[in-house]
Structure 1
Amino acid sequence: MQSTPRTGTTTPPPTRRTRTRRLAGTAAAVAAVVSLTTLSTPGAHAADNPYERGPAPTRASIEAPRGPYAVSQTSVSSLLVSGFGGGTIYYPTSTSDGTFGAVVVTPGFTATESSMAWLGPRLASQGFVVFTIDTLTTLDQPDSRGRQMLAALDYLTERSSARTRIDGTRLGVIGHSMGGGGTLEAAKSRPSLKAAIPLTPWNLDKTWPEVTTPTLVVGADGDTVAPVATHAKPFYSTLPSTTDRAYLELNNATHFAPNISNTTIAKYSVSWLKRFIDDDTRYEQFLCPLPEPDRDIEEYRGTCPLGG
């Protein structure tokens, strides 16, 4: 008698083999799609914000004397420029992150660049190119200082040795006292500026409805040179309601608070510049909800949400 071969004991049934092949093919197709999507689609945060620089911020990181970037500096002689008095450029040493936003910082009446020098490396280490400048004379008025700030920005972005490190579309201005008044003048004259920070500002012009640049006005409760009631507060309150704006009043501080290293000024300046020059919404947490009064802050007013 002829025996029947036991075919089912050594070879999988055709239906099982077909199923296995189909599953393997489906898995390979899914993997290919995922791989293609990963290669062809930018990372979410890169797509949302190509200007984001540095690690995610914390309260400690914005209060620190130095940020994540090593900083280099170069001096600019007044003999080599026109329209302002020269100064010092501070910039992140590394070029691996691409270009950075840039800020000009201007001193007040009778003061020189050295009175604001502390802000240079502090802001640059957070990912900005910073130009602390001298004015043509120490007696220049706010309108003149505003023009000089714009001249310094033009030099910085067009002719300076740091120009290749700068994104010329992302610029801001900071000034103290008459330099603060000049900051408002510069923002009024050049609406393309992304951020303005007048520090204990002084100006005979009390109303600023023309300013559309996001503006952080910093006053001091003990200021007798430019009292907040006749300077910083009306400057802030007359900015258009459609402009992103904030008013920070320092507690137990004088007109000259911006002339020495000040953590409160630095942390909110960094946050403001990051939010509006870099469009980095990671820093909005330090500006909205509005900070509460404490031992460093007498009062804080502002627009929330930002960037609307």
Structure 2
Amino acid sequence: MQHHMRTGAAHRASTGSPHRRSGQLARLATAVAAVVGLTTLSGPGAQAADNPYERGPAPTTASIEAVRGPYAVSQTTVSSLAVTGFGGGTIYYPTSTSDGTFGAIAVSPGYTATQSSIAWLGPRLASQGFVVFTIDTLTTLDQPDSRGRQLLAALDHLTQVSSVRSRVDSGRLGVMGHSMGGGGSLEAAKARPSLQAAIPLTPWNLDKTWPEVGTPTLIIGADGDTVAPVAGHAEPFYSSLPSSLDRAYLELNNATHFTPNSSNTTIAKYGISWLKRFIDNDTRYEQFLCPLPQPSLTIDEYRGNCPHTS
């Protein structure tokens, strides 16, 4: 519309007197300046100035439920022989460098599993504007405390020596994990308070209380979990987190312990929203977390604090 307005005004100006033409051009210049000024005040630039960590367009329900987000994704394999403290893995990252650095997440598999069991999270999250490191552990039998240390070792590798380290903001990091890797993500958050977000997926851990955790934590359980039943794992984990903490408990409906091993829209939708809200401080995603999501075909229960404090 603005293009046609400018074209029409220029045409009329070219057919009038020099005096009239200069007056019309002056008025046109004033109008254009006003539009530019308005755009500067209310457009994306103003939001970016308020929060320099915002990445990607304004979210919608469709965008956070999509199999792929707005960023094209590249990946690189990290050999176990090239790292210390964990078993290597795969780094997924936004291909473009035009938006600057991104927050990053390390993701651990569960007991007896390898990175292939949580590989779907790599491109799903990276395409929304994160660097994602799905890892293999030193052995498939590693316990949660070991997996927690390995998640932190993976983040250190990612930010300090990896080939994509220049793409990562080392101050905006999070952890995720499935089963014993979920218990490990709690261990990592306990050990490193500077983490910005933790998302344990159907977590398992012999330690049932986590009052030491200061990282915003979203625990995702499954109503049909018989390996790590929510009554003995996910629920007490959530209840033991400090009440002052930004925390949430999402119990998947009609789901099992292994639901996080396959592409899942509900896990992605709320996982992305949590990571965006707390790793990127992107309050555009608060709308999907507060007010609390209600029970549905995919959600058995959702608990949490609203509004969020950090």
> TM over 0.5: same fold?
yes
1-structure distance, mates of 2:142, 2:209: 20
CA deviations 1:5-40 (Å, max 9, x no partner) are xxxxxxxxxxxxxxxxxxx9xxx9xx89x97xx69x
Look up the match of 1:260. 262
Matches within 5 A, 1:145-184: 145-184=147-186
Q: Does 1:220 align with 2:222?
A: yes
2-structure distance, mates of 1:180, 1:43: 37
Look up the match of 1:139. 141
Look up the match of 2:20. none
1-structure distance, mates of 2:45, 2:199: 32
**Residue type at the aligned position of 1:171:** L
CA deviations 1:138-165 (Å, max 9, x no partner) are 0000000000000000000000001000
Look up the match of 1:10. none
Deviation of 1:48 after TM superposition, in Å, equals: 1.3
Deviation of 1:242 after TM superposition, in Å, equals: 1.0
Look up the match of 1:207. 209
Structure 1: gaps (5+ residues): 1-23
Matches within 5 A, 1:48-197: 48-197=50-199
**Residue type at the aligned position of 1:184:** L
Q: Does 1:295 align with 2:297?
A: yes
**Residue type at the aligned position of 1:170:** R
User: Aligned residue pairs: how many?
Assistant: 278
Look up the match of 1:284. 286
Look up the match of 2:242. 240
Deviation of 1:44 after TM superposition, in Å, equals: 2.5
SS, match of residue 206 in structure 1: coil
Question: Which of 264, 269, 272 is the matching residue for 2:271?
Answer: 269
CA deviations 1:246-277 (Å, max 9, x no partner) are 00000000000000001000000000000000
Aligned-CA RMSD value: 2.0
1-structure distance, mates of 2:94, 2:154: 19
2-structure distance, mates of 1:53, 1:148: 28
**Residue type at the aligned position of 1:160:** S
Identical positions, percent: 82
2-structure distance, mates of 1:257, 1:58: 24
1-structure distance, mates of 2:156, 2:175: 12
Which TM-score applies when normalising by structure 1?
A: 0.87
1-structure distance, mates of 2:161, 2:243: 36
1-structure distance, mates of 2:176, 2:267: 11
CA deviations 1:75-125 (Å, max 9, x no partner) are 000000000000000000000000000000100000000000000000000
**Residue type at the aligned position of 1:157:** T
The 4+ residue runs of structure 1 with deviation greater than 6 A are none
SS, match of residue 225 in structure 1: coil
Which TM-score applies when normalising by structure 2?
A: 0.86
2-structure distance, mates of 1:107, 1:306: 29
1-structure distance, mates of 2:53, 2:278: 11
Structure 2: gaps (5+ residues): 1-25
SS, match of residue 286 in structure 2: helix
Question: Which of 283, 306, 309 is the matching residue for 1:307?
Answer: 309
